[in-house]
Amino acid sequence: MPPTHALLTACVITLNEADRIAACLDSLAFCDEVVVVDSGSTDGTRETAAARGARVIEHAFEGFRAQKDFAVGQACHEWVLCLDADERVTPTLRASIEAARHSGFDNFAGFRFARSTEYFGAFLRHGNAYPDRVLRLFDRRRGGWRAGREIHEHAVVDGNVTTLAGDLQHVAYRSLDDQLARYRRYAAMMATHMHASGRRAHLRNLIVNPAWRFLRGYVLRAGFLDGWRGFLFACMEADYVREKFARLWLLQRVNDGS
Q: Residues 154, 189: one domain?
A: no
At position 206, the amino acid (one-letter code) is L
pTM: predicted TM-score of the whole model, two decimal places: 0.91
Domain boundary among 143, 170, 197: 170
What's the CA gap between 219 and 16, in Å, rounded? 36
Which CATH number do you get for residue 87?
A: 3.90.550.10
Banded pLDDT at 59 (limits 50, 70, 90): very high
Q: Residues 210, 229: one domain?
A: yes
Domain around 71: 8-170
> Tens digits of per-residue pLDDT, 142-175?
999 986 677 778 899 999 999 999 999 999 999 9
Q: pLDDT at residue 176 above 90?
A: yes
Q: Residues 61, 165: one domain?
A: yes
β-strands 8-14, 79-84 pairing? parallel
What's the CA gap between 194 and 154, in Å, rounded? 16
User: Helix H segments across the chain?
Assistant: 21-26, 45-51, 64-73, 91-102, 176-196, 205-214, 227-255
Over the range 163-198, which residues count as b (16 or more CB within 10 Å of their CB) and which as e? ebebbbbbbbbeeeeebeeebeebbebbbbbbbeee
Q: Residues 155, 187: one domain?
A: no
Counting the structural domains of the chain, the total is: 2
**Average pLDDT estimate for 166-192:** 96
Domain boundary among 170, 194, 214: 170
